[in-house]
Structure formats: C-alpha cells, structure tokens
Structure 1
Amino acid sequence: MEHIKLIAIKFVATFVLLYLVLGMVYGMAIEYILFINMVSIVSYFIGDLIILERTNNAVTTLVDFGIALAVIYLMADVLTVGGDPLIAALFSAILIGIFEAFYHRYVVNELHEQKLQAIPIRRMEYSMETSEELSDYYDEEFDDDEDDFR
C-alpha cells in the first residue's frame, strides 16, 4: 500500500510541475502532459526503488533528472511543443530534479520498515595480525646466525 501512495504523490507532483512548464509556458495540451507523466511511474521503479536502494540521494536525483530530460525531450519533440523542446525539457527536468531530491528522503522514511536505505560508504580498515609463534620463531632462528647473512 505504501508504493501506491508514493506513486500517487510522485504522479501528482510531476504532473503539476510539467503543467507549469509545458502547459502554461509552452502551450502543450493536458493529454500530452498526462502521457509524458506516465513515465514517472517507470522512473519510480528504476530510480526510487532500485537505484536509491544501492546508492544515495544525489546519485538517484541525477539519474531521475537524466531520465526526465531524455523522456520529456523526446516526447515533446514528437508531440511538437511550441518553441524549443530542449529548453522546455531542460526547465521541466530541473524542476523535477529539485522535487526528486526531497521526494527521495520521503521515500526512505516511508519504506524504512522494508530496509530501503542508502548503503553507507564505509572506509575500509585493512589491518594485519601477526602471531607470537611466528615472531618468536624468526627471533630465535636468525639471532644466532647474524654473522651468516653478512
């Protein structure tokens, strides 16, 4: 049930953002904006469930920005936006990227019970142990024969 709520939040928020840029500024029809917004459901599964689980918020936000930019540009170019579709896609993707940065924190908090958290980057500690038996063996073996090694 959490996933349905999260998908609905993302769907509504991205629709509002796309309507502000594509609908109000560039005059795109609502049907086309809804069609473009359907990709947000695919972006939820790719970015928010798979990538966010394995990386952190910044990486997932960049991936979602890239997905939004590519999809909006390709679909706006096909659906003929008045003006430059690259600029329209860039403005839309920037707004969606800003939303995604905050949305990922919410996703992690909501799905905390399912252990969906970013994997922390840990500093690896490489240390080595030596045993007393080994150091005693070398001390006894080579103390007497110092003259042999010159």
Structure 2
Amino acid sequence: MKHLPKHLQPRWRYLGVEIEAWPDADVARGSFQRELWFAAQNLLGDAESADADLTVLGFRFDDGVGETVVRARRGHAGAARAALACIDEIGGDPVGVSVHGVSGTVRACEERYLRGRAGRSGKRNVAFEDADRIAYSRDGALDVRLPAGFAGATKLDFE
C-alpha cells in the first residue's frame, strides 16, 4: 500500500497539557484517554469529536503531577482545548488540567511547554492542626495528608 501524497496527509497540532491531582491519585494514560474521548464526545458530538481525532501521546504522571502531549487535527485545537477543560475527574480522583500551549510538532511541544514536573515532588513531615503529618511538596505548594483525605497549603501556612 502506497503512502498518501504530502498534500493529502493529515496535519496535526500538539497540545502541551499538565495534569494536577492529589498525591495519592492513580491516573494512567488509558483512563486519561477515555475521559478525554468522553469529554469531547459530550461537548462536541460524535461527528466533531471523531473529526478532531484526539489522541494522548507520551503520558507521564507521578505523585499527583503529570504531563502529556495531546494530538489533534489542524483546525481543531480550540475544540481540543475545550474538551480538556471539561475534564474534572479521572477514575474518581479530582484533577486539574491545563493547556500550556499548541505546537506543530511533538518535539517543539515538549521543549516549549512541558517542564518535566512529573516526579519532582518531595515528602516531609510538618506540624498541621497540632499534629505531625506527612506533606507532599511541589513548586511551593504542600498537600498535607489528613485522616479524611488531603488539604492544600502553602509554605506560608507553616511559618
């Protein structure tokens, strides 16, 4: 089977996406892809979401922070951004999804918009609510483990 001529090949745009959740969240590539498809289908409809052809590439998620590249057909980057904005939970875990930028190649997208934050968090003991608690730190924010879940805090809350 021959390849299509260059002028008939599909053109793609790549979105640099950051995912943030509680440190104990378990988010995998497959579950993120499924939520993205459901969000696109609910927001755009069957035909438009199939035309956008959203695909997750190069997924990394660790300690509540992740990043990925989402591929969309050219002309559908705005629809892809809107579908990503509709994702608020993955596998029962609340998440925050933000798009840092759009690029024409995967390499440029990774170099410009993904900062390699996945896996760069620390764990330490802090005094919170008159007790020693475990906290996960990342970029100046702390997620303190409580008996009922997590509480978000900043370093200023402990000084």
Q: TM class by shorter-chain length?
A: 0.3 to 0.5
TM-score (ref. length: structure 2): 0.33
Higher helix share: 1
Q: Which has the larger radius of gyration?
A: 1
